[in-house]
Amino acid sequence: MDFLRRGQKTFKPRKSIPEGSHRYDLAQCASSATLGSGADLREAVKLPEGEDINEWVAVHVVDFFNQISMLYGTITEYCTPQRCPVMSAGPKYEYHWADGQTVKKPIKCSAPQYIDYLMTWVQLQLDDEVMFPSKIGVPFPKNFMSNARMILKRLFRVYAHIYHAHFQDVRSLEVEPHLNTSLKHFTFFIQEFSLVEKKELVPLQELIDKLTSKSVKHSNG
């Protein structure tokens, strides 16, 4: 099974960074550092010397949005309102949607509806020149980092739902290695900059511990 071919069925349109911009160069730097199975993801997520942390976080938010959109795109046919009537990560964790603007009071909805709301909400922010300025010299807003934290916290819920509700689908499609690598990359990044509270990661904590401890053993051995 060709993951990249299947992955072209991206859930949401891929967000691209303007070529020739400094952020594009940073994205290329981040991408090349994580290529190959032997890549040390823990080192790759560290802020390059002399770079702006807001730019580095912005690059990775776009990257994780694209990764998660592609991964979820591989299993959308299995994630239906009938099969996933609530957005959850196992029996103990249920997520209700609210964006504070169009949906102010949290609403209970199916997993595909929740994820559609979530990815549309993220995409609107990535396209917002005030929140994610693309021009050199235009400063990031003061609330950029708190907003990035909220985006990453919610994107993690898509990982959590895929693992809890669709792991057998992922295995049958032979996408598991890509999903694991993506989650590991995401985890190292949010840990490096303390972007998501530990309590939010509890639905996948056991898996996260396993994935990240393997990496430690590998780098020491």
Which CATH fold would you assign to the domain 3-220? Butyryl-CoA Dehydrogenase, subunit A; domain 3 (1.20.140)
Q: What is the pLDDT of residue 73?
A: 94
Binding residues: 79, 84, 161, 166
Percent of the chain with pLDDT over 90: 69
Mean pLDDT, residues 176-195 taken together: 95
pLDDT at residue number 37: 45
pLDDT digits (tens, 9 = 90+) for 50-59: 989 999 999 9
Q: What is the pLDDT of residue 128?
A: 94
Mean pLDDT of 107-124: 96
CA 35 to chain centre: 17
Cβ neighbors of 24 (< 8 A, separation 6 or more) are 17, 18
Rounded mean pLDDT, 117-142: 92
Residues in CB range of 121: below 8 A, 6 or more apart: 99, 154
Output the pTM of the full model.
0.84
Q: Shortest CA distance to 149 belongs to which of 163, 131, 135?
A: 131
Task: Cite the annotated binding site for Zn(2+) by residue number.
Answer: 79, 84, 161, 166
